[in-house]
Amino acid sequence: MEFKISKDFIARIEQYISENREQELQALLHDIHTADIAEIMEELDAGEASYIFHILDSEKTSEILLELDEEIREKILKNLSPKEIAEELDEMSTDDAADIIAELPADMKEEVIQELNDDEHAKDIVDLLRYDEDTAGGLMGKELVKVNENWNVLTCVKEMRVQAENVQRVHSIYVVDDEGRLKGRLSLKDLLVTSTKTPISEVYIKKVDFVKVTTPDVEVARIMQKYDLEAIPVIDELGRLVGRITIDDVVDVIKEEADKDYQLAAGISQDVEADDSILDLTKARLPWLVLALLGGFVTVKVLGIFEPAMQNHGELFFFTPLIAAMAGNVGVQSSAIIVQGLANNTLSGSLWNRLIKEVLLTLLNGLMLASILFLGSHFLLGRGYDIALTVSISLITVIVIASLIGTFMPLLLNKFKIDPALATGPFITTSNDICGILIYFSIAKMILGF
Amino acid sequence: MEFKISKDFIARIEQYISENREQELQALLHDIHTADIAEIMEELDAGEASYIFHILDSEKTSEILLELDEEIREKILKNLSPKEIAEELDEMSTDDAADIIAELPADMKEEVIQELNDDEHAKDIVDLLRYDEDTAGGLMGKELVKVNENWNVLTCVKEMRVQAENVQRVHSIYVVDDEGRLKGRLSLKDLLVTSTKTPISEVYIKKVDFVKVTTPDVEVARIMQKYDLEAIPVIDELGRLVGRITIDDVVDVIKEEADKDYQLAAGISQDVEADDSILDLTKARLPWLVLALLGGFVTVKVLGIFEPAMQNHGELFFFTPLIAAMAGNVGVQSSAIIVQGLANNTLSGSLWNRLIKEVLLTLLNGLMLASILFLGSHFLLGRGYDIALTVSISLITVIVIASLIGTFMPLLLNKFKIDPALATGPFITTSNDICGILIYFSIAKMILGF
């Protein structure tokens, strides 16, 4: 049931555009979902995309604007007048409209706001603009259905009909007092099955989950997931109901947060996509590489210290990449599992138990790996028993320490309120490279003496 | 507004349990959300957790069961009779109940099903059990509100009141024909604002998104995210409406999928958590480490080939971990960005454009890194210009090739329907280690001659 964009389809659209066949294009796009039209526009060049945008009605274009990649949206908005942009925003919900305005250049913002048609809508949007985008205030929309605790069900239903006109999806009906403070909620289901004469105060549920405008967005996501909520009301400093957040907004937050952790683990420091510009991609990737390179200098320096080993035990140097890689791999595994536990809030028990468990686990893995390495070095790679023993003992030691660093580092960062995902990726592989090589040659020196 | 579990609180609960103060415990837990009670139970030992479970009423315990970690849930279910389990399931929605039954040992399943009280509920649950858990059929629930296209709004509202009794949250009202085939939907909002005499056929929306019972769960998640849906109906092979999937079920799929990619990138092969047993964690981690170790053998072998270099240019060996690490880092960055693009469906354009872009990007990064390496090797590490030049040229070559492998590998895997996330992590760092070292020493041999 999902629409699949084919190359042929894109080619046909490009042809229609070049031949200016407006009506056929409108007919072709008529039954296609706006999310799919946005994807089609991303396959076209900026001029063609703008053409399509102009032949569709504003109900569709406002949805398309929201579905587009930021980059392409920017290009299309640039070709629109403040009045035209305002027309698009009039069709949007308050939170979406506020997000679009926040992206506009400073001088455009005010002009667009003044062109907004509906005063109530404009007021709500301006209101939303003052919240930080990473907070509940930045996520919430103003569209909600609220009733006064002093009404009865009949008044309530009448009022709701009016309010529902402006609300795309009715999630919950919130109950407030005369000062607008959140008191509880009414479920739609209760409303379907309750007689119209009942006073609201008798039917509403006094227990209601809520967040404050200043609650961080990831916290909102965690709470909604944990308590399995589809919408959550937002209150201000005085306890007044000022907005609501729906689960679809939170899905984006969850996805972004998971993507960010993944990127950090891979050594990419900003929220970039494969289709971003080379400059953006460089900015996201180069800093980590420079850090890793500087770490590499240290490994060169460390190996230099052990130069005397080259005379009688040069083969030790053949094993450095192996030892370093194993240290890196074990470190990343250990840290990843902690980072994820922290992100999902599934860590329980004390730090000591965790470290002891990690050491046991790594010793178990280490013993097996060291046995393979011992046998492999001797029989497969033809090295002497002394070398085989040296590298095997070093391997166990190195990976136990690597796993301890990997476990400890994200916990430490988290303690200091730094994103623990920073600890994975190039950061941990580099520091484990250095430690690993230092330990390896120190052990070799003790066993072989050079 | 979120409840925070303190150590003191846990201590108090443990004390109450040991002193058998049932009523005080009930009072203490009365106002606490079931998700929080589940978290509290995870902090206690199995006996204490069971104690708490037994003093709460079944409305709460059924919710708690769903919130608990699988491991602890298993322990608690083991202490319950089939009849007791069935009582818990009677309180659950069909999809949740089916999930719990699927976890039970084979011999228990049938006994529990026979103890279910409500025949309709039991039939629905048994129905759900036959679907694969990774499909829309496995995700969906049977609770939905459906009306016949031949009814009018009045009949509809009456019927809905009856149906709504069994439905926790009414998302959409689905419209079916006499054969039960999905025809369209009615929005709750429309229902609020439409007169009761209108025939359904005049008000319902004929365009409705849906998935089939066999659609994979990740596909369902992608569609619901893309089209911004809070619920989606599920149809069987004959087009009949058989269930619905809500966004909260899909949030779990999205989260799990993102977590899985992250774990693969970190070299962890199963869905494990920090609190899983050492054996489970070993099974998830050891295979990758063995793979990396075997790759390490190859690097030892490769370095052995270049042993003659040791005589006059032994310092080359000091740089191997640096070169290998840089190859690994660049490879992981390149592959991660492709893996994420594939997962989020944000890749557009041709393969060639992508490879060319990646090469340009890496050349840009490579030139800067090579300059730093050249200057650093000479001035910081005191190496001659010949060595500095050799390692710098090698670095550019190695990371360009590493980035190409990193870009190409996930795309290739994806083509063959293998999870592209496999390409990141130890797999790519190991293969890049080998390639990197081989290229490095080959270039060194050409420049320095040994």
pLDDT at B1 over 60: no
What is the pLDDT, as a whole number, of residue B217? 93
Closest alpha carbon to B179 in B123, B128, B239: B239
Q: Is residue B93 part of a domain?
A: yes
Q: What mean pLDDT, rounded, does chain B reach? A: 88
What is the pLDDT, as a whole number, of residue B374? 95
- Number of domain units in chain A: 3
* CA atoms of A101 and B418, how far apart (whole Å): 42
Residues B382 and B437 in one domain: yes
- Final residue of a structural domain among A83, A114, A134: A134
- Final residue of a structural domain among B89, B104, B133: B133
Residues B316 and B410 in one domain: yes
Q: What is the pLDDT of residues B164-208, one digit of tens each?
A: 766 666 677 899 999 999 999 887 767 767 777 888 888 888 888
* CA nearest to A323 within chain B: B296
Closest alpha carbon to B293 in A367, A323, A428: A323
Residues A300, B319: contact at Cβ < 8 Å?
Answer: yes
Residues B122 and B156 in one domain: no
* CA nearest to B362 within chain A: A282
Residues B208 and B289 in one domain: no
Tell me which chain B residues have a C-beta less than 8 angstroms from the C-beta of A335.
266
Give the percent of chain B with pLDDT over 90. 43
Sheet with A241-246: strands ordered across: A211-212, A231-235, A241-246
Chain B interface, best mutation among A32, A92, A260, A333, by max B CB count within 10 A: A333
Tell me which chain A residues have a C-beta less than 8 angstroms from the C-beta of B410.
none
Q: Is residue B261 part of a domain?
A: no
Residues B122 and B161 in one domain: no
How does strand A241-246 pair with strand B145-148? unpaired
Cβ density class A309-333: b for 16+ within 10 Å, e for less? bbeebebbbbbbbbbbbbbbbbbbb
Q: What is the pLDDT of residues B249-284, one digit of tens each?
A: 888 888 888 888 888 878 887 677 777 788 888 888
What is the pLDDT, as a whole number, of residue A262? 81
* CA atoms of A89 and A96, how far apart (whole Å): 8
User: A333–B268: do the CB atoms touch at under 8 Å?
Assistant: yes
* CA nearest to B348 within chain A: A43
Q: What is the pLDDT of residues B428-446, one digit of tens each?
A: 888 899 999 999 999 999 9
Q: Per-residue confidence at B239, pLDDT binned at 50, 70, 90?
A: very high
Q: Is residue B140 part of a domain?
A: no
CATH value at residue B205: 3.10.580.10
Q: What mean pLDDT, rounded, does chain A reach? A: 88
* CA atoms of A318 and B305, how far apart (whole Å): 10
Residue corresponding to tokens 């058998």: B20
Chain A interface, best mutation among B253, B255, B330, by max A CB count within 10 A: B255
How does strand A145-148 pair with strand A173-176? parallel
* CA atoms of B37 and B45, how far apart (whole Å): 14
pLDDT at B22 over 60: yes
Q: Is residue A109 part of a domain?
A: yes
pLDDT along chain A (450 residues), means of 10: 78 92 90 90 88 89 90 88 92 92 89 90 92 93 89 82 70 88 83 78 87 93 88 94 91 84 78 78 87 93 92 91 92 86 74 82 93 92 89 95 90 85 79 93 91
Tell me which chain B residues have a C-beta less than 8 angstroms from the C-beta of A227.
33, 35
Q: Is residue B397 part of a domain?
A: yes
Cα torsion A194, A198, A199, A203: sign = negative
Residues B293 and B393 in one domain: yes
Q: Per-residue confidence at B242, pLDDT binned at 50, 70, 90?
A: very high
Among candidates B225, B261, B329 on the partner chain, residue whose Cβ is nearest the Cβ of A267: B329
Distance from CA of B387 to the nearest CA of A (A): 13
Strands (E), B292-375: none
Among candidates B209, B295, B322 on the partner chain, residue whose Cβ is nearest the Cβ of A1: B209
Sheet with B211-212: strands ordered across: B211-212, B231-235, B241-246
What is the pLDDT, as a whole number, of residue A441? 95
* CA atoms of B280 and B293, how far apart (whole Å): 20
* CA atoms of B53 and A352, how far apart (whole Å): 29
The count of other CB atoms within 10 Å of the CB of residue B430 is: 27
Chain B interface, best mutation among A167, A207, A318, A378, by max B CB count within 10 A: A318
Tell me which chain A residues have a C-beta less than 8 angstroms from the C-beta of B300.
318-319, 321-322, 377, 381
Domain encompassing residue A73: 7-134
Q: Is residue B266 part of a domain?
A: no
User: A288–B346: do the CB atoms touch at under 8 Å?
Assistant: no
For residue A156, what are the contacts with CB-CB under 8 A and spacing of at least 6? A147, A173, A186, A191, A200
What is the pLDDT, as a whole number, of residue B168? 64
Under 8 Å CB pairs connecting chains A and B tally to 362
* CA nearest to B345 within chain A: A39
Residues A424 and A286 in one domain: yes
User: A372–B290: do the CB atoms touch at under 8 Å?
Assistant: yes
pLDDT at B117 over 90: no
Residues A142, A124: contact at Cβ < 8 Å?
Answer: yes
Q: Is residue B262 part of a domain?
A: no
Tell me which chain B residues have a C-beta less than 8 angstroms from the C-beta of A193.
161, 164-165
Distance from CA of B318 to the nearest CA of A (A): 5
Written as one string, the DSSP assignment of A129-155 is HTS-TTBHHHH-BS--EEEETTSBHHH
Distances (CA, A) of A6 to A35, A43, B126, B343: 15, 11, 40, 19
Residues A163 and A129 in one domain: no
CATH value at residue B109: 1.25.60.10
* CA atoms of A170 and B170, how far apart (whole Å): 10
For residue B5, how many C-alpha atoms fall within 13 Å in the half-sphere facing its CB?
A: 20
Tell me which chain A residues have a C-beta less than 8 angstroms from the C-beta of B188.
170, 188
Residues A322 and A440 in one domain: yes
* CA nearest to A192 within chain B: B161
Among candidates A35, A289, A304 on the partner chain, residue whose Cβ is nearest the Cβ of B326: A289
The tokens describing A401, both together, are: 């320490």
Residues A117 and A152 in one domain: no
User: A310–B307: do the CB atoms touch at under 8 Å?
Assistant: no
Q: Is residue B254 part of a domain?
A: no
User: B322–A307: do the CB atoms touch at under 8 Å?
Assistant: no
CATH value at residue B444: 1.10.357.20
Tell me which chain B residues have a C-beta less than 8 angstroms from the C-beta of A299.
318, 321-322, 325
Chain A interface, best mutation among B65, B70, B268, B340, by max A CB count within 10 A: B340
* CA nearest to A162 within chain B: B193
The tokens describing A139, both together, are: 């996520």
pLDDT at B25 over 60: yes
| B169: Cα separation from own chain's centroid | 25
* CA nearest to A314 within chain B: B310
What is the pLDDT, as a whole number, of residue A211? 95
Residues A296 and A425 in one domain: yes
User: B376–A307: do the CB atoms touch at under 8 Å?
Assistant: no
For residue A217, how many C-alpha atoms fall within 13 Å in the half-sphere facing its CB?
A: 22
Residues A194 and A338 in one domain: no
What is the pLDDT, as a whole number, of residue A342? 83
* CA atoms of B266 and B260, how far apart (whole Å): 10
ipTM: 0.77
